[in-house]
Amino acid sequence: MGLMSEALTQILIPLAAIIGIGFALLQWVLVSKIRVSSGSKLESEYNNKLIEEDEQEEGIDSDDVVAKCADIQKAISQGATSFLFTEYKYLGIFMVVFGAIIFLFLGSVKSFSTESEPCTFNKENICKPALANAFFTTIAFLLGGLTSALSGFLGMKIATYANARTTLEARKSIGKAFITAFRSGAVMGFLLAANGLLVLYISINLFKLYYGDDWEGLYESITGYGLGGSSMALFGRVGGGIYTKAADVGADLVGKVERNIPEDDPRNPAVIADNVGDNVGDIAGMGSDLFGSYAESSCAALFVASISSIGSNHDYSAMSYPLIISSMGILICLITTLIATDMFEIKNVTEIEPSLKRQLLISTVLMTVGIAFVNFFALPSEFTIFDFGSEKVVKNWHLFFCVSIGLWAGLVIGYTTEYYTSSAYSPVQEVADSCKTGAATNVIFGLALGYKSVIIPIFAIAASIYVSFSLAAMYGIAVAALGMLSTIATGLAIDAYGPISDNAGGIAEMAGMSHSIRERTDALDAAGNTTAAIGKGFAIGSAALVSLALFGAYVSRAGIKTVDVLSPKVFIGLIVGAMLPYWFSAMTMKSVGSAALKMVEEVRRQFNSIPGLMEGTAKPDYATCVKISTDASLKEMIPPGALVMLTPLIAGTFFGVETLAGVLAGSLVSGVQVAISASNTGGSWDNAKKYIEAGATEHARSLGPKGSDAHKAAVIGDTVGDPLKDTSGPSLNILIKLMAVESLVFAPFFATHGGLLFKLL
């Protein structure tokens, strides 16, 4: 046994979660102190003194600006809330239907008998009936979906609450605006990490009341939690991604390219839809996505441990190792966040990006120490891990290396992504330079950059897979994925910071604030683009490890001894699996294209038919554009979602467990490449455009002011990259994970009844 007693473990895990939630609420209170409604005369005079001198000279009435900001914020918040409500209404129906499918499929394994039976792995023990597993897996599935939706919704609420506040703080100084955006990101990060941990912890303890000593059945049914989390994330990510990009592409093509008006100009009818989109896609979608990864890696680790000596000896603190790692992560991220908000003040635009990068580094270094502590106290010095039919002896320091290599691989992926997508380095500057000769060369350079950016992350993932697998078999890979996600609170904070700054810039432009304010929000936003790319890098890297761990758990559960690539059953699965990411990307890209087409037509119609719109004397009809985005995304998210949800069911039922194993391996191997290259290509085009617009260096000034030929070429690149980086790329990591976790959940059914076609032949 480890040094930690069961009672201590039972107290520490929920305590860490509650501290995380408390800290998130504290940050929220600090953000809410910024007033958005205009207060008394005295107060506004005091605020005017705070606002820097240059603003005063332009004679902008500050109450008027504050009122405008409040109006715009309200419009964005209402748009985002109503979209999410509509989306969740549809998803609620889906959850109920799919929950029923899980129950029927898993219940039919032993034809709905309520008899206890010998366990799958330890034949001498008696386990609860398969019907109970079906019931509890369904409950876990619904819980996971609910938590995932809640994570996304809360994130969106915080972001729409903070965007105008960031804009108003930007009038005072860049440092204050940065802290406001960062704090709001932290609210989301900590709420999500703590909620995910708490709900999982409570579910395990409630399920235990029924399962008692049958840990094998208990943790098998808990895998439903990961499935619920990820299936919500898939629809949230795809739906939100289509919504945001239809608006963004439509607004850019007509506004910037045809009409020559700046981004986020209030005359552009699609501008509110564009800003709503940032919140439903990048915030709500991203939140659900990372929550899904977190839930699945925990489930994979718990499942593998439950069929190992840790499970058969009922060592509670060692069994809860994945949860203790996450608890430690919350505390480490808390310290990291305090360092960012209270120890370093940002005085200059150039300090923004280094400060966000420093967050990643600090949390990674501190977490490495944290892992060593957890390993020493929670794990027995030696135990055995189930390794495809045999037992592998593992020492507790082996797991230290497994978790740490996952954690550091995450940092490597984050830093590589930053190098390829930030305008501070040569790759993006080369892309910007290629705009001199037009859009075609820009597209060529951008695609090449995306493909090239895959190399280092893949080596990092490969190294962590090799090390963790050789040390602790499949369990090692599951905890490596957890290691990468252990600093999720910080990762999400710097990720959510991006869309919040983006919105703040949009509000500044729409409220007609001065040029200097716009420059500040632009600088925040450009750094935010890079951090969003880093966030996507983390999501994709962790998805690769998570799905490999789930794949291992699935192979164990389906009773496959080895997956033989040379057998035709497996090979056809491999080649079809590798095709799926392309099929999926085709669907999502086309959806964005067709929705953007409708949006472009509507925006053109308004510019041509509303008199006085270009002059700024008439108001555009924002609501129609919001409706186009909403309808398009709800309709278009169904086919890609169905593709991902049905593939494992069809492959497993008709072709059997071995073909499905091939499909999972194929989709994992090709999905990671497509996802990383898509999201970095899009990110680099976006920042190349921002680099030209900002004109911060001699080189950038030679390429344009806004509206030059090079700038127009950059805008086209950015528009092509939008669906790549915000719809296809980020949704692909969910495709990889979701198919694996779904196969694991349905494995008992496939093992019993699967392979109908081959049985007939």
- What does pTM read for this prediction? 0.88
Alpha-carbon dihedral angle through residues 447, 450, 453, 455, given to the nearest 10 degrees:
-80
In three-state secondary structure terms, 384 is strand
In degrees rounded to 5, what are phi and psi of residue 390?
A: -115, 175
Q: What share of the chain is helix, strand, coil (3-state, %, to 5)?
A: 85, 0, 15
pLDDT of residue 137: 92
In three-state secondary structure terms, 478 is helix
- What gap in Å lies between CA 129 and CA 16, rounded to an integer? 34
Cross-strand partners of 384: 393
CA angle 613, 71, 531 (to 5 degrees): 95
- Within 13 Å and on the Cβ side, how many CA atoms surround 398? 22
**Matching residue, tokens 């984050």:** 414
Cross-strand partners of 383: 394
Amino acid at 599: M
**Matching residue, tokens 């002059």:** 615
- What gap in Å lies between CA 695 and CA 704, rounded to an integer? 8
- Decide if 163 contacts 509 (C-beta within 8 A): no
Amino acid at 157: K
- What gap in Å lies between CA 100 and CA 87, rounded to an integer? 20
Handedness of CA 501, 503, 509, 513 (dihedral sign): negative
Number of helices (H) and strands (E), helices first, in the chain? 27, 4
With residue 127 as reference, give the H or E element that holds it: strand 126-127
- What gap in Å lies between CA 346 and CA 363, rounded to an integer? 19
In degrees rounded to 5, what are phi and psi of residue 44?
A: -70, -30
- Within 13 Å and on the Cβ side, how many CA atoms surround 359? 32
**Matching residue, tokens 């490969």:** 462
CA angle 89, 90, 91 (to 5 degrees): 90
**C-alpha closest to that of 278 among 528, 71, 32:** 528
- What gap in Å lies between CA 744 and CA 220, rounded to an integer? 9
Inter-axis angle of helices 215-251 and 638-650, nearest 10:
150
**C-alpha closest to that of 181 among 366, 34, 330, 332:** 34
Report CA-CA distances (Å) from 754 to 135, 324, 736, 747: 21, 37, 21, 9
**C-alpha closest to that of 468 among 521, 403, 520:** 403
Output Rg (C-alpha) for the chain, integer angstroms.
26
pLDDT of residue 386: 74
**DSSP states along 72-94:** HHHHHHHHHHHHHHHHHHHHHHH
- Mean pLDDT in runs of 10 for the chain (761 residues)? 72 91 91 72 51 48 80 90 90 93 86 70 72 90 92 88 90 89 90 91 89 83 91 90 88 84 86 89 85 88 82 78 91 89 78 84 92 84 75 84 92 90 89 91 94 94 92 88 89 88 89 86 83 82 90 86 86 94 93 90 91 87 90 89 92 91 94 92 90 84 84 89 87 91 90 80 69
**Matching residue, tokens 């499918």:** 101
C-beta pairs of 333-336 under 8 Å, 24+ apart in sequence: 333/189, 333/190, 333/193, 333/363, 333/487, 333/488, 333/489, 333/490, 333/493, 334/19, 334/20, 334/23, 334/190, 334/489, 335/366, 336/362, 336/363, 336/366, 336/487, 336/490
Show the tokens assigned to 672. 């990671």
- What gap in Å lies between CA 247 and CA 241, rounded to an integer? 10
Q: What residues have CB less than 8 Å from 85, skipping those under 6 apart? A: none
In degrees rounded to 5, what are phi and psi of residue 387?
A: -130, 80
In three-state secondary structure terms, 395 is strand
Q: How far is residue 515 CA from its own chain's centroid?
A: 33
Handedness of CA 487, 492, 498, 500 (dihedral sign): negative
In degrees rounded to 5, what are phi and psi of residue 384?
A: -115, 150
pLDDT of residue 357: 83
In degrees rounded to 5, what are phi and psi of residue 622?
A: -70, -35
Show the tokens assigned to 60. 């902008």
Handedness of CA 725, 251, 176, 185 (dihedral sign): negative
| Beta strand spans in 501-592 (E) | none
**Matching residue, tokens 């579910």:** 203
- What gap in Å lies between CA 647 and CA 663, rounded to an integer? 9
Q: Structural domain boundaries of the chain?
A: 6-36+59-760
Q: What residues have CB less than 8 Å from 342, skipping those under 6 apart? A: none
**Matching residue, tokens 């290396």:** 401
pLDDT of residue 339: 83
- Decide if 530 contacts 422 (C-beta within 8 A): yes
pLDDT of residue 4: 67
Show the tokens assigned to 167. 């804009």
Helices (H), 558-621: 568-609
Show the tokens assigned to 494. 């710097």
